[in-house]
Amino acid sequence: MKYLYVLTFLFISINIHGQVVLDADGPGNTYNLITSVLAPGYNPIEVPDCNHTSFGNHIDEVYDTDLNANVFRFYIHVSPDNDRCIKFDRQRNEIKTYDQSPENLLGIVGEKVIYKWKFKLSSGFQSSPNFTHLHQLKSVGGSLASMPMYTLTARKGSPDRLELRYAETDTQITLAQTDLLPLVDTWMEVTERIEYGISGTYDIEVKKISDNSVLFAYTNNDIVNWRQNAEFVRPKWGIYRSLNNSQDLRDENVLFANFSIQEVETLSLATSESNTGFSVFPNPAKNSIHFSGLHQEADKIEMYTIDGRKVIEKAIINATKEVLDVSILSNGTYIIKVSGSRLNQSRLITISN
């Protein structure tokens, strides 16, 4: 149903959505506040409270004199905290969106989303040599759901590092990294932009709030941001760390503030075709798709189901008279991707045979 809801609008208009913001408002009722924004009536909080009831809530709110505002404080203790009394080789204290969250907090194919937040690592912050995750974008649905798509993680090393990790499928790579020390004991502001799709875009920037200097950044204008059989992508924030080398860890608290999720735009087909690039017609299509405006560097057409499964691949023979036979396809919405040297463009089209 999520696809049907969004894709109806993809062919009508550009939708500009307001920001959904989660701000601390002062001590007390912290879990209720988080829940009211991220998943009203449900439970978007993953805390180690069950095995550490004597401590109380592992997320609370305090007033921060640097920001002159209330902020969230996430606690994690080397012992006895674990991962929700489910896994005992790791610890998790995170907030998230998930399938019970409002639709506009879940990323789906074709959407452009901006995530923003602030965070502060305590002086002397200690990272695991395995993983100490601070933020993840996780794909839900399909065989790759257990592997985060993007992860911002701290890692012990020489020196300790902040790493941006990425997994197109089931293997993670490091896209960028930087010395962690300049990010410790100072408030940072993160802006993360992503376009969800097979030929998506991604960029992240981490700024030091006190002087607005950029301490970490990464940009990729052609990266796979959608997985086969995925339903949606959800963000997570907090501290999630391995206990395999617990001697390297200490009790920590990480401060977070001003979480924001904004769906910038959902492109209509009409808007896509008015920009530079190719157009497809008719739409809906019945037996064949015609193309106009194909770039001279275009050499291949691919067609995918909305869940990322490739159904057609065809070399472009004549860019001025290109026609694609779609008579074998089932009715539904598909992604058409045209690629070539320094070229990747996508469109959405409905098949109605």
What pLDDT is recorded for position 127?
97
Pick from 4, 16, 11, 6: nearest CA to 265? 16
Dist. CA 148–CA 237, nearest whole Å:
13
Together in a domain, 323 and 198 = no
Together in a domain, 74 and 106 = yes
Together in a domain, 221 and 322 = no
Dist. CA 6–CA 220, nearest whole Å:
25
How many residues in total does the chain contain? 353
Together in a domain, 179 and 318 = no
Together in a domain, 261 and 310 = no
The total of structural domains in the chain comes to 2
Dist. CA 350–CA 353, nearest whole Å:
10
Together in a domain, 139 and 206 = yes
Together in a domain, 109 and 8 = yes
What pLDDT is recorded for position 18?
63
CATH of the domain at 202: 2.60.120.200
What pLDDT is recorded for position 276?
45
* Residue 97 burial (CB count, 10 A): 24
Q: Please give the chain's pLDDT, 353 residues, in tens.
A: 333 333 333 332 334 446 899 999 999 999 999 999 999 999 999 999 999 999 999 999 999 999 999 999 999 999 999 999 999 999 999 999 999 999 889 998 888 999 999 999 999 999 999 999 999 999 999 899 999 999 999 999 999 999 999 999 999 999 999 999 999 999 999 999 999 988 899 999 999 999 999 999 999 999 999 998 888 999 999 999 999 999 999 999 999 999 999 988 544 333 333 344 678 888 888 889 988 878 777 889 989 887 677 899 999 988 778 899 999 998 888 888 888 876 677 788 888 87
The model's pTM: 0.75
Together in a domain, 63 and 202 = yes
Dist. CA 314–CA 300, nearest whole Å:
6
What pLDDT is recorded for position 65?
97
Q: Final residue of a domain: which of 245, 266, 287?
A: 266
- Block residue for tokens 């798709």: 289
What pLDDT is recorded for position 284?
86
Dist. CA 329–CA 216, nearest whole Å:
45
Query: What domain range is 52 assigned to?
Result: 2-266
Together in a domain, 254 and 121 = yes
Together in a domain, 152 and 291 = no
Together in a domain, 231 and 303 = no
Q: Final residue of a domain: which of 213, 242, 266?
A: 266
CATH of the domain at 279: 2.60.40.3080
What pLDDT is recorded for position 277?
66
Q: Final residue of a domain: which of 266, 284, 318?
A: 266
Together in a domain, 316 and 202 = no
